[in-house]
Every structure is written in structure tokens, then in C-alpha cells.
Amino acid sequence: MTTQPELTSKEKEVASGERTRRERYFVPDVDILETEDALLLYADMPGASNDTIRIDLADGVLHIEGDVSARDYEGLTPAYTEYNVGNWVRRFTLADTHRLAADKVSARLTNGVLEVRLPKAEREKARRIPVH
């Protein structure tokens, strides 16, 4: 699995690309783990909810997008802030999609952290061969 290069700006705001929307988009922090059975992707997406997150897997690209309503934050004047309100977007190119069971990909959101589970195809799982 390859990812886009790390951005250097503190907020990791998406600087280029889609300009058809007026909202700000940020790149969520992501951890990726590999187990015997799956690739697990964890993305921080505070403010997003189950019904505002879209996940697509097509042509070897995993696309994650989450919308956050800025209306809840309008009129607030914090003394100091490091958290910016905006939408989330991240894309990953999956090098070996044939190794994954694409029809069994699942996702869940818990306390602002999105978990995407990309199960490995049966033929890719390690197995112990008994000796008779």
C-alpha cells in the first residue's frame, strides 16, 4: 500500500486538487497495520459521523472522505486553537489489490477514529502445513 507524501503544513490542509467545493479539506493522520488476515487502516476524523463518511475502492485506489459541518463551530472565538474545522480526504493506491478480498472490506467509526479493514484473500493468508 502506498500513500501520498506527507504534507509539511501543521494543519495538513489539502492545497491542491478539487476546487469545485468551497469547504476546506484536511488530510487525516493515518496508521496502517498488517495482520495475518488483513490490512487495518486507522484514520483520525474528528467531527465526522457515520452518515457523512464515504469510502470507495475502485481501480486500485482507496478513497476516504468525511464531511464535517462547520455550523456547529460558527461564532466561536477560542483563545487558542490547533484544531481546524473542515472536511477530511485521503487516497491510497493499493499496489496488490489481487491480494485483498475487496468484497469483504468493512469500516466502522468509533470516537472520531475510522477503522477500515481490508481482508486478505484466502490464498494470501499464511497457513501451517501439517507433516504426516
In a domain, 57, yes or no: yes
Residue 1 has pLDDT above 60, yes or no: no
Residue 112 has pLDDT above 60, yes or no: yes
Instruction: Return the CATH number at 83.
Output: 2.60.40.790
In a domain, 77, yes or no: yes
Q: How confident is the model at residue 10 (pLDDT cuts 50, 70, 90)?
A: very low
- The predicted model gives 11-32 an average pLDDT of 70
Q: Please give the Cα distance from 94 to 76 (Å, whole number).
A: 40
Please report, to the nearest 10 degrees, the dihedral formed by the alpha carbons of residues 34, 12, 7, 24 taken in order.
Answer: 110
In a domain, 94, yes or no: yes
In a domain, 129, yes or no: no
pLDDT at 116: 97
In a domain, 36, yes or no: yes
Domain that holds residue 50: 2-15+23-124
pTM: 0.74
In a domain, 92, yes or no: yes
pLDDT at 4: 45
In a domain, 60, yes or no: yes
pLDDT at 91: 95
Q: How confident is the model at residue 80 (pLDDT cuts 50, 70, 90)?
A: confident
In a domain, 56, yes or no: yes
Q: How many other CB atoms are found less than 10 A from the CB of residue 63?
A: 13
